[in-house]
Amino acid sequence: MSFIYQRRQLWLGVFFLLSVGLALMSCTDNPDSLSTAAPGSKEEAEKFIQDAEKRLLELNIKGQRADWVKSTFITDDTEAIAAEANERLIGATTELAEQARRYENLDLSPELKRKLKLLKLSLTLPAPKDPAERTELTKLTAAMEGDYGKGKYCPEGDKGKCLTLPEIEQIIATSRDPEELKRMWLGWHQIAVPIRKDYVRFVELSNKGAKEMGFKDTGAMWRSKYDMEPDAFAAEMERLWQQVKPLYDSLYTYTRRKLSEKYGKEVVPEDKPIPAHLLGNMWAQSWGNIYPLLAPANADRGYDLTAILKARNTDEKQMVRYGEAFFTSLGFEPLPSTFWERSLFKQPADREVVCHASAWDIDYEKDVRLKQCVQINEEDFSVVHHELGHNYYQMAYSTKPFLFRDSANDAFHEAIGDTVALSVTPPYLKQLGFIDKVPDPSADIGFLLDRALDKIAFLPFGYLVDQWRWKVFSGEIGPNDYNKAWWELREKYQGVAPPAPRSEQDFDPGAKYHVPANTPYARYFLAAILQFQFHRALCREAGFSGPLYQCSIYGNKKAGEKLKTMLAMGQSEPWPVALKAMTGEEKMDATAIIDYFAPLKSWLDEQNGKKTE
């Protein structure tokens, strides 16, 4: 999650809830007055939106500046300043979203109707009107996020050395001792137990707020953000999953067999779910850390990009220049001079900063920035291209009205960044002069497998997190079945099982940050689908006819124009319109993933057809 808007949503979760009660109470003395007020006129609606956009732009700029300083000069003071700015911003958003309901039944222009809808749906958490319930909701959510943030595992008998989540994740990623992995997994998941009771009440209060806003429940409100009816969106997610399931099944079968060979059939039976602690990730959502256990023979592609970059004495700024040159080769303008003056590319020696890579849009016009402690290696070479994809998207839609200055839906931004990164291919590296020749295709299976362990392994998890929450919000899953239903979904979609028996005393969904933080997750599943659909469309526009995974659009102005057209639309049109502008297709389509990984699918099926030796 690298785009700064989404990154800030995670960080701001607690501040949103702490401010929402005050914000709603400040907008009127009578909590029912707005909903019962007489409908306004068209002229009033136009004036309301005009004033709202101006107010939100000013508050967003102040919030972005404060957050930038907080992230690049971490002190108690800068954190407090950023929190205060963000509370004002989110309070105003909450107030305006409530006021917008007064105009929603008027006969307005399509543009004005869309702005009112986007303003109303900008809330992730609908708060009840009752002041006491709003206060209760803020306290519950602050407690849940606080419990998660303070979570540590203190191994029994060693109380003086507790492990944080990053430390536990490092062990999960590198250890090959199943008992140690089991201890780490169980140790982390116990931090969610206290969250369970608060989550039950949180669901009740959130649903009450959603119903007061006219939605069936909170899950229906989330699904309404995708320019279609909530049930239709749920069906669309399932359709996309069914498209990619055969590829996932092939990868899963191969992975389970290799893990069974590694740990023994008593630990990983070949006819049962894979124990979740053995897949190299706390949530078994990406499996790249176990690639060494799965790598095929002759997987070496014949070059080491990290070594090449270092041999060329590449520094942090030059890494970013390579990314900029990718976009200018497509016909985009160079990055503004302020980008180079104000961005952070290297970890300072004299202060603490947030090093996690993120793309920033400070003034919603041209003051875009990159914040990344760039490492001179292959991974960060791709990450730079990804982040600049966000920055160019931000600049492209900067001429739109403020409420349209965002991606077509919340998945498009991440998808664009990843689409650009997919063009970092050997042919591209050859054009840059980094390698003399493109590696023989015989080495491509290892590359595709490594990428699939990241991209394909994630898909079922990306889908099921919100499917669980939708069912919880709707009441289909009751509090007495939270954990049971969680593991039923994980087995159904991922084919994984916990490393030890679980009960309703546990709350394993709460061990994933996005659940206690109330952050929607469907966007990540959709981004994983869209990036390949975008990539295929741009490669087609560029006239590329080879295997999709070998395509790079570097230097192709025609593909660049197609990309520019879609980026410039921002959120001004429903996402199917933006999708059609890029791909010629009005539906999200996962067949591009199938095309991309076709050689790997054939290889996996061949391997899976062999008997285990």
Catalytic residues: 387, 514
Per-residue DSSP letter, 281: S
In angstroms, rounded to a whole number, what is the distance separating the alpha carbons of residues 144 and 319?
40
Q: Residues 6 or more apart from 481 whose CB is under 8 A from it?
A: 504
Per-residue DSSP letter, 332: P
| DSSP assignment of 46-78 | HHHHHHHHHHHHHHHHHHHHHHHHHHHS--HHH
Give the tokens for residue 602. Answer: 């054939």
In angstroms, rounded to a whole number, what is the distance separating the alpha carbons of residues 244 and 241?
5
What residues are paired with 344 via a beta bridge?
371
Report how far apart, in Å, the C-alpha atoms of 45 and of each of 33, 40, 371, 573 are: 18, 7, 38, 20
Q: How big, in percent rounded to 5, are the helix, strand and coil portions of the chain?
A: 65, 5, 35
- As a dihedral over the C-alpha atoms of residue 577, residue 122, residue 45, residue 227, rounded to 10 degrees, the angle is 30
Query: Which of 462, 458, 357, 329 has the alpha carbon at shortest distance from 417?
Result: 357
Residues 31, 131 contacting (CB under 8 angstroms) = yes
Residues 298, 332 contacting (CB under 8 angstroms) = no
Report how far apart, in Å, the C-alpha atoms of 500 and of each of 19, 267, 598 are: 40, 12, 36
Q: Determine phi and psi for 153, rounding to 5 degrees.
A: -110, 120
Positive or negative torsion for Cα 537, 542, 548, 551 = negative
Q: Is 163 helix (H, G, I), strand (E, B) or coil?
A: strand
Q: Is 360 helix (H, G, I), strand (E, B) or coil?
A: strand
β 368-371/358-361 pair status: antiparallel
Query: Which of 192, 151, 149, 187 has the alpha carbon at shortest distance from 171?
Result: 187
User: What is the maximum alpha-carbon separation in the chain?
Assistant: 76
In angstroms, rounded to a whole number, what is the distance separating the alpha carbons of residues 375 and 352?
17
Positive or negative torsion for Cα 566, 567, 571, 575 = positive
What residues are paired with 370 via a beta bridge?
359
Report how far apart, in Å, the C-alpha atoms of 75 and of each of 13, 164, 336 are: 20, 21, 29
Which residue is associated with the tokens 């929607």?
520
Q: What type of residue sits at position 255?
A: T
Please provide the distance, in angstroms rounded to a whole number, between the alpha carbons at the two ends of the chain.
Answer: 41
| E strand or H helix at 530 | helix 522-541
In angstroms, rounded to a whole number, what is the distance separating the alpha carbons of residues 20 and 138?
8
Angle (deg, nearest 10), helices 131-149 and 195-212: 140
| E strand or H helix at 566 | helix 557-569
